[in-house]
Structure 1
Amino acid sequence: MSTPAGPPDQRSAGPLAPSAWNLPNYLTVFRFFLVPVFGWLLLAEGGHVWGYRLAALAVFGVAMVTDSIDGDLARRRKQVTDFGKVADPIADKAMLGMALIGLSIIGIVPWWVTVVILVREVGVTVMRFVVIRHGVMPAGRGGKLKTVLQTVAVGILIFPLESLPGSAVWLTAAYVLLAAALVVTVVTGVDYLIKARRLRATSARTAARKAARRVAREP
């Protein structure tokens, strides 16, 4: 007499991929919602009312804190997902991009600096989506250093420095940090381009295509 078939042995199945619906990804999505709120506060009344500027700095700080939290949570809870790898750096770029655009509108950051940084950020984001069929490109150490430099410099510039004694010193420090961030931004952008080309050339998808072409050419 045959025994009825039971449920499949779960030990034979591979580990389940973490769900995209998790706390780290919720924090990432939350940062996207903060972007328009931050932009409105930064530009309210022409961007020259210290109360609005402080409120914008508070929102910016919350966004940057959640940025440092969500990645640690994802790794600690083993909830790293492809969505998080892609959406997390985009959320950072959206917030920092809004900050740079706003500061340029107010007249604090030169437009050419904002344009160079945004071109790099948008280019890297587009590149991630172009090569996503070959694999996900997580943020590297250089990218994290770039984000830290940009965050500190932008945070200082958002603060209404004119209300501080010795504001020229703080402004000079912020511009030095921003210049360093600009250099790291360009260098890491070139590095991402090299990595993307290498990923595309060595991925399993490319190898399969090459194998299929070899088979097709065989008599």
Structure 2
Amino acid sequence: MNTTPSEPDGAQGTSAPPLLNIANALTVLRLILVPVFVWLMLQPGDVLRMIATVVFIVAAVTDKLDGQLARSRGLITSFGKIADPIADKALTLSAFILLSVAGRLWWWVTIIIIVRELGITLMRFMMLRRAVMAASRGGKLKTTLQMTGLIGLLAPWTMFLPGWLATALTVAAYVAIGAALVVTVITGVDYVAQAIKIARGTAEERTA
């Protein structure tokens, strides 16, 4: 992701980075892959479901890669700060919704995660005028657990694995989703606490 660094555009150089760069290209690619993933998941058959899982994995890899490139090469742009979290949430939330529609994940889990993810993302955008709320370690753990659980539930393991192993992987995926749900709620509360602290600090500065 290329939204977490606190440096302003061009902080690592004398001029702002170009809009057309590899990090932004990967973000756009992820946005394009989201509808492809959704369409494949809605088609019948384990083969297309496996292809959809591969597309999801590729998109998830671009999420990590574009952030690394943006930070290491000084390619952080305003476009990336806005488009990256949109692509990130579009990918993960569409997967949660599709799994619930297919009956492989409880709707209450999906709803809690949707409310948390959209709410915190909106709050972070609103707080940009005051301070950049960088992703915490808990937030990164949440993303890792979510991706692990989603891939485990998306993949048609019985297509190429023995039944006992497919069952074990599915159970492991549900455990990862459960852990992700806990971390998702905890980090959400932490982000709200950070926002309140920042808002109070700003208010005190204005009245000082």
TM-score interval, normalised by the smaller of the two chains: 0.7 to 0.9
Task: Give the partner amino acid of 2:191.
Answer: Y
**Residues 162-184 of structure 1 deviation map (CA, whole Å, 9 limit, x = unaligned):** 33311221111111111000001
Contact 1:89/1:139 (<8 A) preserved: no
The equivalent of 1:137 in structure 2 is 133
Give the deviation of 1:32 after TM superposition.
1.2
- For residues 79 and 201 of structure 2, the distance between their equivalents in structure 1, rounded to whole angstroms, comes to 23
In structure 2, the residue corresponding to 1:44 is in which secondary structure? coil
1:75 aligns with one of 71, 78, 97: 71
- For residues 42 and 131 of structure 1, the distance between their equivalents in structure 2, rounded to whole angstroms, comes to 35
Residues 96-175 of structure 1 aligned to structure 2 (within 5 Å): 96-163=92-159, 164-165=161-162, 166=164, 167-175=166-174
* Structure 2 residue 201 is matched with structure 1 residue 202: yes
In structure 2, the residue corresponding to 1:124 is in which secondary structure? helix
Go from structure 1 to structure 2 and tell me whether the alpha carbon gap of 1:15 and 1:71 turns closer, same or farther (over 3 Å shift): same
Task: Give the partner amino acid of 1:210.
Answer: T
- For residues 124 and 83 of structure 1, the distance between their equivalents in structure 2, rounded to whole angstroms, comes to 19
Go from structure 1 to structure 2 and tell me whether the alpha carbon gap of 1:87 and 1:139 turns closer, same or farther (over 3 Å shift): farther
Q: TM-score, normalised by structure 1?
A: 0.81
Moved over 6 A (4+): none
- For residues 84 and 191 of structure 1, the distance between their equivalents in structure 2, rounded to whole angstroms, comes to 24
Structure with max Cα Rg: 1
* Identity fraction in percent: 51
Residues 59-74 of structure 1 aligned to structure 2 (within 5 Å): 59-74=55-70
Give the deviation of 1:134 after TM superposition.
1.2
The equivalent of 1:7 in structure 2 is none
Question: Considering only aligned residues, what root-mean-square deviation do their CA atoms show, in Å?
Answer: 1.8
For structure 1, the 5+ residue unaligned runs are 1-13, 212-219
Q: TM-score, normalised by structure 2?
A: 0.85
Higher RCO (C-alpha under 8 Å, 6+ residues apart): 2
Task: Give the partner amino acid of 2:131.
Answer: G
Give the deviation of 1:126 after TM superposition.
1.3
For structure 2, the 5+ residue unaligned runs are 1-12
Contact 1:85/1:136 (<8 A) preserved: no
Give the deviation of 1:58 after TM superposition.
1.1
- For residues 50 and 87 of structure 1, the distance between their equivalents in structure 2, rounded to whole angstroms, comes to 32
